Chains A and B, each alone.
Chain A
Amino acid sequence: MIAIINYGVGNLFSLSGSLKRLGIESVITADENIIRNADRIILPGVGAFGDAAEKLRKTGLDRVIIDEAKKGKPLMGICLGMQMLFEKSYEYGDHEGLGLIPGNVKPMKPLLDGKLKVPHIGWNSLQIKDKNDPLLKYIEDGDYVYYVHSFYATDCDNWTSSVSEYGITVTGSVRNGNVWGTQFHPEKSGEKGLLILKAFSEI
């Protein structure tokens, strides 16, 4: 059973639908006991970092996620959910993240020189940096995934397992032990995305 953390951000139809298609049991929940009893946790998220981090803290779910991750439970953050795994975000101010992966989240815009549009939105190809990452076991160099974001994870080279090029090198996925994150949306990335979720369920 995968617990999809529900803290009131975004629609989770596609994520729970993807897992259902794969025959993987999941529950959308904010209940501490259910999260603690699940085999795996997915932290989704769209919207602003500050608001989302605040919501997690207010509900106390931040502690639950950190505890479970430290016990070794597989945890995967998606998009903003991935960004929140890092130590700090500079999205409209300074915000503390969950600190499960070393690194920071910074705006892309100042680095793109006005040449490329922000948000980085659309299908982009992946270059795999860590061929041994079990999350990417079904993915090959050049496979396309779907991105929608204006901020990106940086200072995290040691933990980066795949990247995409968009004027700068965008962190595509990260791993620190039993904690994974994808900047792209596997639940919107067609068959390749389903294979990433399948790989997570098999870890």
Chain B
Amino acid sequence: MVAKRIIPCLDIRHGRVVKGVNFEGIQDVDDPVALARFYNESGADELVFYDITASVEGRGLFTDVLERVASEVFIPLTVGGSINTLDDFDRVLKCGADKVSVNSGAIKNPALIGEAAKRYGDQCVVLSMDVKRVDGKFTVFTAGGRVNTGIDALDWAVRGEAAGAGELVLNSIDTDGVKKGFDIEMLSAFAERLSIPIIASGGAGCMEDFKTLFETVPKVDAGLAASIFHFKTVNIKDLKNYLIDNNIEMRKI
């Protein structure tokens, strides 16, 4: 059967990897190509790249990075950030992305999900959402968690699936950067409503958090994290061996 996936996420700004804690206080981490190579060798099952630069110049640097990574690292690559149109899909797919993640671009234009799924296939379209509890209700936020869209997150995910999204990245703003574990309550609520694979994001602080994730919410397919991998708090190879020892199906390296 299909193995659970461990996915490091690389936020790219001006051609470099950065990671903010609670989306603020960005620190420079590493060269993206070197880091991608390192993760590939440690057994990462997929890599996610988010372009967090807004400038045209930054975008050019980003696609250069993507081309270099795709020519050197032979595992699936998902790309997100500034994906607003089919041309944006085209641009990153031509540089070596396998899947494209849409977030606020799909909120501005919900038809984008269906159009992209029709042109490139469901497997290519990943709906990514930043979700926070507002008065006890899961609500979609944008702009790195600063803007409350007022959209009900569960409804939005269900609509995204129906439109043709092949996967969902669910990032809990409530647990992001806190390192006390994934947002199990939020993930369970989404898993009940969806049949597409769910990638859990936000909150991983140690290896046990991934075990709890996969054991408590079996419908979650993957765990995504950034800083614990970038700062070597958790080594992916050790993490996968630990999960295999705990009877969770993982690709062995």
Contacts and interface: CB of A to CB of B under 8 A. Distances in A.
A188 B2 contact: no
B1 A166 contact: yes
B1 A165 contact: yes
A122 B5 contact: yes
Nearest to A186: B74
A190 B3 contact: no
B73 to A, nearest CB: 8
A124 B93 contact: no
A11 to B, nearest CB: 6
Contact of A121 (B93, B95, B197): B197
A190 B67 contact: no
A21 B5 CA distance: 25
Contacts of A191: 253
B171 interface: no
Interface residues on A, range: 20 to 34
Given A123-B3, A144-B251, A20 B76 contact: no
Interface string B85-105: 000000001111110000000
A14 B252 contact: no
Contacts, number: 81
B3 A119 contact: no
B74 A189 contact: yes
A117 interface: yes
A119 B72 CA distance: 26
B184 interface: no
Contact of A188 (B67, B98, B166): B98
B212 interface: no
Given A124-B3, A144-B251, A144-B252, A119 B74 contact: no
A92 B40 CA distance: 37
B197 A124 contact: no
B5 A123 contact: yes
A166 B249 CA distance: 14
A148 B76 CA distance: 10
Given A47-B121, A117-B196, A11 B94 contact: yes
Contact of B75 (A11, A142, A190): A190
B196 A123 contact: no
Nearest to A47: B121
A13 B123 contact: no
A119 B166 contact: yes
Contacts of A146: 75-76
Interface in B153-191: 166-167
Contacts of A142: 252
Interface string A5-22: 000000101101110110
A119 B197 contact: no
Contact of B122 (A18, A47, A119, A165): A119
B195 interface: yes
B70 A17 contact: yes
Contacts of A98: none
Interface string A153-194: 000000000000110000000000000000000011111011
A13 B76 contact: no
A43 B67 CA distance: 22
Contact of B166 (A11, A121, A125): A121
Contact of A11 (B96, B122, B167, B195): B96
Interface of B: 1-3, 5, 40, 45, 67, 70-72, 74-76, 93-98, 121-123, 166-167, 195-197, 221, 251-253
> Across chains A and B, which 6 residue pairs bring their CB atoms closest together, nearest first?
A17-B71, A144-B251, A13-B96, A122-B2, A13-B70, A123-B251
7 contacts: A17-B70, A47-B121, A119-B166, A123-B2, A187-B74, A188-B75, A190-B251
